[in-house]
Structure 1
């Protein structure tokens, strides 16, 4: 990353270009191929000459687009990227479409539309919910939570999040409460909600306000292998922090790694030999 304010007053454009080329020379020494991750969007860094297209131009490097979102987002982003790349004299190798919810439409219809615009589609990776799950362990780590029970279930997978701020009767009526592999966020003094959650198909319970529930609940959580994670914040703040947790895939998650390997095998990587 970089700070715009420092770069704008410490370096001129010529110095920035030289620094980028010098850094790349050091990094690429002894390497056959170096992939440079782009900025968070297509305009970030433009004011200091460090947007993705400018960096590609400095290094005479071709660009690989990774696009996701709605059909409209993908079309708009792809065509705008092509326009900027053409204006700067940067080659676009092609595009890989990620997290696509209508893979068949893209393969049979939409891909041709982008290829008519001069953007080669190298692969279409479908949205796969199983790759978006995360574990109770990751939640504990990201929240710096104390595991007070159910440690044997710390690798439980989480697919859904439920905020237990209402009455138990209202919670039970909510369809999300009956969904499997869920994380429940509720205050530690809501013994009724915690007990109800322990009886459902729950993966983990985050207890807010630093309130530890009665020992019988801790024993029940241990018995059911449902982790109880203790955090100091209120329920709203905790929910916002959980919302910011991004699932990532570790080397131990063999099931996910196998799925990724299978999908990656369908991507056209013949362009690598031409670099």
Structure 2
């Protein structure tokens, strides 16, 4: 209904090797991120690392620097802090893996850690009364199990995509869709890892959402390719794929921009809780749109060559 870009004739397949080089770099970053997650050396949230999260509400506005100072003086160095100034709340997160935030001998249980956090803040900020909103505790074994389950969830989703696209189209198309989905997940995960963002269940949720979005966008392109392959039997497959992508380019951009602007709105106005999710979605939309054009379709071409992809 809305054509941002009018009729185009871009040789997308002619640029596939440059795109593969760029995609390879982002995929390597994603693989490194996965290795770091498995080894526990990445910036893991308490969902995966295990630890304690205590959210407290103060009577008066408090500065994070004052909270940090109180925790440091109480021996809780290295805690992660998150501020909610509109409601005068602060979230204190102490991880088990690599945090060095607390002597585990003096507080061997999660309850001991949360009690020490509350006691330290109460003593260090005497002029500002606080109440405990919530306490979340995850043991190291549970965090390790969640990391494993998270990876299996991503693998299971990709296998499901492989089966679905193979059933709806044919095997070469499912290979392209699978590569594109893996590419998108690895690229966003790699960017978060390099930028030092926390890797947690919220990011996993975003990655699975991105996989679904990428598949939807890819299927639209594949549908047009299949239609044109049947209508342009004598044309080389390369020409058919280029024509198909050009025909759906405007639709792809309209959809992508809609989701992208919605993600930006969540990023700027959705609050701290949705910050990382919205950022991952914004990056995922860009990467997913790119992969539908420069990863999924070129992989189909490389896998099947210029041979006939559909029955007459």
TMscore range, shorter length: under 0.3
Higher normalized strand content (fraction of residues): 1
Greater helix content: 2
> Which is bigger in relative contact order (C-alpha 8 A, separation at least 6)?
2
Output the TM-score relative to the length of structure 1.
0.23
